[in-house]
């Protein structure tokens, strides 16, 4: 066997491989393109976009924790208008599925952002961020509320024909209830998980290490939590899952797929080794060859419990 | 900007727990400018997880130096690297000092480990211009003189040199200098940079400073290192991409 099929289907979307780059860890694609060939990546998810530009939180925004990091960037972004004018011309030169991540403070703002961006031919799909832990309004206020997540999904779907993925928060008791609401409201897929709320103090000053006090925990520290959430959704809800949370290598990708993910997102790893997504794709191919697996997607939900 | 594995040549312990790590990399050595930095992964392990940013301290031929103290787990691992061990380096990153230009005397001001980028700047300025260096610290053991010349020292407690801050020391010497013909290069704690800004604006002196901030990636994607701009209030600049060296008038500090 010398040909393996790495392609995956996520609802109506097909990606040439399961490796997507997570929102907030690749900007708008410009910088990371110096380390990877975007034409070979499964897909790219933009930094969260809001209707108007957002300045984001004051420093300190980032702190390292054991096998992880906390961030409270506060959705700093250029806004939809500048994104279309200044950022899309760069990414549309590449043959890579472009998923726009949308953040908002109101349901109307989610809808308006989606409506504006859906007119852009370069935009292939949307990922709706209902789970940012680092802003005062919107974000988790929606992500913790099943009815709100359902309503956002329904309203956003009503203004676009492009696929809509909802990025779910792990900071809830039963994530599958949220996935069910997404499915019932016409959403095409879910991303699981966004960061976990975390806090770190400086014991000498007794002040929080992050100015925002709370941050979102990411990195390998959260991988077992993410795997559990993916599994819960897969067991309870019939909806495609894009798994994310602390992936560091190809073996982590397989683990997420076995637990029920159709595709995955690489996040924090992009900060540490921006070339890693390319290595992982190559290693997945080698794994398939070694394992005699002709189609990688056969692994999705293949757990034996 | 690229990722490279480069071998350690040697580790040198200066006095007072300050380390110099000498690394062989013609690629980095030939490209990097004073004030630019490298983001270094100290081990393959997930703890510590993130890279650590270091400004380049000096360059000699195909080799360069990093200067650091043991601050946490990352720097502890780095200080114990053996000759031949490979170090995973991402760089060169950011904008360095603009040391060309129409001035006669470079005035270097370093607070504590803020001395790190100045041996290389001193080397690059070379004999073209006069250099005056002011180094300060809380007490005499904080004073780093490595690789710099024409040094005056200040300590907060008076245990070495001038008693007071390094910016106060600079102010006391300004009368001897033609303010139109000097350029100040600074690096140190924020309180020092803030005092330096006040003096440079009041005295109408050109000044560039190297800043620091916690960051993850080092090249603009994590957005972890904002710094307030004096030009645009609606968005932050990033220390990693727009800096780390800024005209002191362009940043709120």
User: B97, B131, B53: which is closest to B247 by C-alpha?
Assistant: B97
Contact A167, A175 (CB under 8 A): no
User: A118, A207, A114, A197: which is closest to A153 by C-alpha?
Assistant: A114
Q: What is the pLDDT of residue A139?
A: 62
Q: CA A271, B94, B125 angle in degrees (round to 5)?
A: 150
Same-domain status, B106 and B171 = yes
Provide the mean pLDDT of chain B.
Answer: 95
Residues of A in contact with B225 (CB under 8 A): 59, 61-62
> B150 φ, ψ to 5°?
50, 60
Please give the average per-residue pLDDT across B175-185, as a whole number.
89
Shortest CA distance from A46: residue in chain B? B221
Mutate to test the interface with A, among B51, B72, B217, B237 (most CBs of A within 10 A): B217
Residue that terminates a domain, selected from B93, B119, B139: B93
Above 0.85 for ipTM, yes or no? yes
Q: What is the pLDDT of residue A134?
A: 62
Per residue in A272-282, pLDDT (tens digit) is 999 999 999 99
Locate the DSSP E strands across chain A.
8-10, 13-15, 19-21, 43-45, 62-65, 68-71, 98-102, 125-129, 164-167, 189-192, 196-199, 214-218, 241-244, 263-266
User: B144, B99, B153: which is closest to B126 by C-alpha?
Assistant: B99
Tell me the CATH number at B238.
Answer: 2.10.240.10
User: B47 and A67 in contact by Cβ < 8 A?
Assistant: yes
Say if residue B27 is exposed, middle or buried (CB neighbours under 10 Å; 0-12, 13-18, 19+).
middle
3 state DSSP class of A77: strand
Query: Cis omega before residue B244 (within 30°)?
Result: yes
Per residue in A42-96, pLDDT (tens digit) is 999 999 999 999 999 999 999 999 999 999 999 999 999 999 999 999 999 999 9
3 state DSSP class of B244: strand
pLDDT band at B128 (very low <50, low <70, confident <90, very high): confident
Euclidean distance between CA atoms B245 and B56, whole angstroms = 13
Same-domain status, B108 and B125 = yes
Intra-chain end-to-end CA distance of chain A, in Å = 30
Q: What is the pLDDT of residue B54?
A: 97
Same-domain status, B127 and B53 = no
pLDDT band at B15 (very low <50, low <70, confident <90, very high): confident
Shortest CA distance from B222: residue in chain A? A25
Residue at token pair 């390094």: B166
For residue A222, pLDDT beyond 60: yes
Residue that terminates a domain, selected from B93, B117, B139: B93
Q: Which residues contact A167 (CB under 8 A, 6 or more apart)?
A: A23, A101, A127, A128, A129, A130, A131, A190, A191, A192, A194
Q: Which residues of A29-46 are buried (b: 16+ CB within 10 A; e: fewer)?
A: bebbbebbebebbbbbbb
Please give the average per-residue pLDDT across A239-256, as a whole number.
98
Per residue in A145-183, pLDDT (tens digit) is 999 999 999 999 999 999 999 999 999 999 999 999 999
> Is B221 in the A-facing interface, judged by CB distances under 8 Å?
yes
User: A231, A144, A244: which is closest to A193 by C-alpha?
Assistant: A244
Q: Tell me, what DSSP letter sits at residue B34?
A: T
Token pair, residue B59, equals: 């360059």
The minimum CA-CA distance between A202 and chain B, rounded to whole Å, is: 13
Provide the mean pLDDT of chain A.
Answer: 95
Token pair, residue A186, equals: 């016409």
Q: What is the pLDDT of residue B179?
A: 81
Please give the average per-residue pLDDT across B92-114, as a whole number.
96
For residue A132, pLDDT beyond 80: no
Same-domain status, B193 and B247 = no
> Is B216 in the A-facing interface, judged by CB distances under 8 Å?
yes
Q: What is the pLDDT of residue B16?
A: 82
> Is B14 in the A-facing interface, judged by CB distances under 8 Å?
no
Same-domain status, B147 and B57 = no
Please give the average per-residue pLDDT across A1-8, as a whole number.
85
Same-domain status, B120 and B76 = no
Same-domain status, B184 and B232 = no
Same-domain status, B198 and B220 = no
Euclidean distance between CA atoms B53 and A154, whole angstroms = 45
Per residue in B29-85, pLDDT (tens digit) is 999 999 999 999 999 999 999 999 999 999 999 999 999 999 899 999 999 999 999
Please give the average per-residue pLDDT across A17-22, as a whole number.
98
User: A271 and B217 in contact by Cβ < 8 A?
Assistant: yes
Same-domain status, B197 and B102 = yes
CB pairs under 8 A between A and B: 97
pLDDT band at B234 (very low <50, low <70, confident <90, very high): very high
For residue A1, pLDDT beyond 60: no
Same-domain status, B180 and B251 = no
Contact A11, A237 (CB under 8 A): no
Contact B145, B151 (CB under 8 A): yes
Same-domain status, B226 and B186 = no
Sign, Cα dihedral of A261, A215, A66, A174: negative
Residue that terminates a domain, selected from B44, B72, B93: B93
Structural domain containing residue B218:
211-253
Pairing of β A13-15 and β A19-21: unpaired
Please give the average per-residue pLDDT across B151-156, as a whole number.
97
The question of whether A132 is a catalytic residue gets the answer: yes
User: A25 and B221 in contact by Cβ < 8 A?
Assistant: yes
Q: What is the pLDDT of residue A131?
A: 78
* Cα distances (Å, whole numbers) of residue A175 to A24, A190, A194, A279: 22, 11, 11, 31
3 state DSSP class of A266: strand
Q: What is the pLDDT of residue A136?
A: 62
Same-domain status, B157 and B245 = no
For residue B153, pLDDT beyond 60: yes
Euclidean distance between CA atoms B188 and B118, whole angstroms = 11
Residue at token pair 């020092």: B192
Q: How many domains does chain B have?
A: 3
Spell out which chain A residues touch chain B, with contact meaning CB-CB distance below 8 angstroms.
24-27, 31-32, 34-35, 47, 53, 55-64, 66-69, 71, 73, 76, 219-220, 248, 268, 270-275
Per residue in A84-120, pLDDT (tens digit) is 999 999 999 999 999 999 999 899 999 999 999 999 9
Domains by residue range for chain A, with CATH: 8-58+73-198+219-299 (3.20.20.70)
Locate the DSSP E strands across A112-158.
125-129
Pairing of β A196-199 and β B63-69: unpaired
Residue B4 CB coordination number (10 Å): 15
């Amino acid at each position: 066997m010398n040909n393996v099929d790495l392609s995956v289907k996520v609802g109506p979307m097909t990606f040439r491989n399961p490796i997507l780059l997570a929102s907030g860890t690749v900007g708008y694609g410009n910088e990371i393109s110096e380390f990877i060939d975007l034409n070979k990546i499964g897909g790219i998810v933009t930094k969260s976009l809001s209707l108007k530009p957002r300045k984001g939180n004051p420093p300190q925004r980032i702190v390292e924790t054991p096998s992880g990091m906390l961030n409270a960037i506060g959705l700093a972004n250029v806004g939809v208008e500048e994104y279309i004018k200044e950022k899309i011309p760069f990414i549309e030169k590449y043959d890579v599925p472009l998923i726009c991540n949308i953040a908002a403070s109101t349901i109307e703002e989610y809808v308006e952002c989606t409506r504006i961006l859906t007119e852009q031919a370069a935009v292939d799909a949307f990922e709706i961020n209902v789970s940012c832990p680092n802003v005062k309004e919107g974000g988790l206020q929606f992500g913790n509320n099943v009815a709100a997540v359902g309503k956002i999904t329904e309203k956003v779907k009503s203004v676009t024909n492009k696929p809509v993925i909802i990025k779910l928060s792990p900071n809830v008791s039963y994530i599958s209830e949220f996935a069910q609401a997404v499915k019932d409201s016409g959403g095409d897929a879910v991303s699981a998980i966004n960061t976990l709320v975390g806090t770190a103090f400086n014991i000498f000053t007794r002040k929080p290490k992050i100015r925002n006090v709370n941050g979102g925990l990411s990195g390998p520290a959260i991988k077992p939590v993410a795997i559990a959430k993916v599994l819960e959704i897969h067991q309870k809800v019939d909806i495609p899952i894009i798994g994310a949370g602390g992936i560091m290598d190809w073996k982590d990708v397989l683990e997420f797929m076995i637990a029920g993910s159709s595709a995955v997102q690489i996040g924090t790893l992009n900060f540490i080794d921006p070339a890693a997504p390319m290595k992982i794709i190559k290693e997945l191919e080698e794994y398939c060859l070694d394992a005699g697996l002709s189609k990688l997607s056969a692994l999705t939900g293949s757990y034996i419990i | 900007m690229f990722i490279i594995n480069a071998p350690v040549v040697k580790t040198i312990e200066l006095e007072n727990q300050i380390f110099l790590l000498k690394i062989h990399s013609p690629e980095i050595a030939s490209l990097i400018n004073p004030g630019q930095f490298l983001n270094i992964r100290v081990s393959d392990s997930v703890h510590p997880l993130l890279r650590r940013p270091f400004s380049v301290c000096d360059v000699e031929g195909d080799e360069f130096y990093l200067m650091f103290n043991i601050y946490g787990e990352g720097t502890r691992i780095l200080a114990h690297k053996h000759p031949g061990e490979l170090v995973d380096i991402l760089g060169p990153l950011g904008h360095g000092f603009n040391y060309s230009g129409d001035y006669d005397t470079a005035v270097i001001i370093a607070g504590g480990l803020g001395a790190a980028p100045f041996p290389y700047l001193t080397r690059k300025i070379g004999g073209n211009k006069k250099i005056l260096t002011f180094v300060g610290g809380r007490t005499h053991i904080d004073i780093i003189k490595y690789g710099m010349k024409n040094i005056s020292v200040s300590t907060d407690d008076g245990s070495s040199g001038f008693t007071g801050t390094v910016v106060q020391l600079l102010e006391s010497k300004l009368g001897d200098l033609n303010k139109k013909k000097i350029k100040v290069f600074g690096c140190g704690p924020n309180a020092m940079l803030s005092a330096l800004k006040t003096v440079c604006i009041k005295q109408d002196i050109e000044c560039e400073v190297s800043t620091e901030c916690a960051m993850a990636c080092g090249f603009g994607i994590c957005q972890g290192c904002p710094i307030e701009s004096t030009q645009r209030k609606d968005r932050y600049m990033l220390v990693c991409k727009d800096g780390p060296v800024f005209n002191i008038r362009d940043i709120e500090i």
